[in-house]
């Protein structure tokens, strides 16, 4: 009998990825990698807290994304990133500026690796549905066999990254 990590490795070795979706965040970003419409890997990538503490004078190292890209073989290179927006209810617009800068950095890294990158605004892919309801809707669209490919399946950022990917694939109608 295979352990979850062995089964996960077997799925990765047999899959040719064709999409990565990213939900940017502070100190980390969430990602989901798909192959032919199915999740083959999803999780969080953390940047050291020391790098974020000096963010005002020196940006963190965004190249950890390259390591994630190298965990699978790519049949085609497509990426979608949730691009943050400032809304009237946004508590600190300066935080959104940092997220937007991170989106630019992730875009540059992906483009340097040959990816075609698109951005999507949060309200364009998930509408105005409350977060707890949206998370349940995304989880309902995931096949049980895909759960073994998700690290931290209860993290809302990971679920958002999956939702962005599902939206790009038109695999679901979430809102």
Per residue, the 3-state secondary structure of 81-115, as one string, reads EECCCCCCCCCCHHHHHHHHHHHHHHHHHHHHCCC
Q: Which residue has the tokens 């991170």?
A: 102
DSSP annotation string for 152-163: STT-HHHHHHHH
**141-153 pLDDT tens trace:** 999 999 999 998 8
Supply the DSSP string of 26-72, one letter for each residue.
Answer: SSEEEEEEEETTEEEEEEEEE--HHHHHTTTTS----THHHHHHTTS
Q: Are 104 and 119 in contact (CB under 8 A)?
A: no
Q: Residue 11 pLDDT more than 70?
A: no
Q: Stretch 78-102: mean pLDDT, rounded? A: 88
The domain made up of 4-169 has a fold known as Nucleotidyltransferase; domain 5 (3.30.420)
**55 against 38, higher pLDDT:** 38
Q: Which residue has the higher pLDDT, 97 or 81?
A: 81
Report the chain's terminal Cα–Cα distance, integer Å.
39
Coil, strand or helix at 8: helix
Q: Is the pLDDT of residue 21 over 90?
A: yes
Distance between CA atoms of 140 and 143, rounded to whole angstroms? 8
Mean pLDDT of all residues in 98-110: 91
Express each pLDDT in 109-142 by its tens digit: 999 999 999 999 999 999 999 989 999 999 999 9
Mean pLDDT of 16-31: 90
Question: What percent of the chain has a predicted confidence (pLDDT) above 70?
Answer: 82
Arithmetic mean of pLDDT over the chain:
85
The structural domains of the chain, with segments of one domain joined by +, span 4-169
Distances (CA, A) of 154 to 12, 135, 140: 21, 9, 13
CA distance 96 to 100: 6
> Per-residue pLDDT for 59 more than 90?
no
Rounded Cα–Cα distance for residues 164 and 78 (Å): 13
Find out whether 31 and 39 touch, Cβ atoms under 8 Å: no
Q: Rounded mean pLDDT of 51-62?
A: 65
């Amino acid at each position: 009998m295979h352990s979850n990590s062995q089964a996960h490795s077997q799925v990765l070795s047999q899959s040719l990825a064709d999409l990565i979706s990213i939900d940017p965040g502070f100190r980390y970003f969430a990602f989901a990698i798909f192959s032919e419409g199915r999740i083959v890997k999803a999780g969080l990538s953390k940047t050291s807290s020391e790098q974020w503490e000096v963010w005002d004078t020196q940006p963190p190292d965004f190249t950890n994304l390259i390591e994630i890209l190298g965990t699978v073989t790519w049949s085609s290179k497509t990426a979608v990133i949730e691009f943050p927006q400032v809304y009237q209810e946004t508590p600190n617009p300066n935080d959104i500026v940092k997220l937007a800068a991170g989106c630019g950095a992730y875009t540059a890294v992906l483009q340097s690796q040959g990816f075609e990158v698109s951005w999507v605004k949060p309200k364009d892919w998930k509408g105005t549905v409350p977060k707890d309801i949206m998370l349940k809707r995304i989880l309902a669209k995931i096949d049980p066999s895909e759960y073994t490919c998700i690290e931290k399946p209860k993290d809302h950022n990971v679920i958002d990254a999956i939702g962005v990917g599902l939206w790009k694939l038109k695999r679901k109608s979430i809102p």
